[in-house]
Amino acid sequence: MVDLQVDFFNDPELAAVLEAEGVEAFLLCGVSTESCIAATAVEAYARDLSVGLVVDATASVRWDLHDHAIGSLREQYRQPALSADQAITAMARR
Domain ranges of the chain: 28-92
**Cα–Cα distance, 58 to 33 (Å, whole number):** 6
pLDDT tens digits, one per residue of 10-37:
777 877 888 889 988 889 999 899 998 9
- 28 with 40: CB under 8 angstroms? yes
- Closest by Cα among 76, 21, 38, 24 to 8: 38
**Cα–Cα distance, 75 to 78 (Å, whole number):** 5
pLDDT tens digits, one per residue of 59-79:
999 999 999 999 999 999 999
* Model confidence pTM above 0.85: no
Query: φ, ψ for residue 5 (rounded to 5)?
Result: -80, 170
Classify the C-alpha dihedral 43-21-3-74 as positive or negative: positive
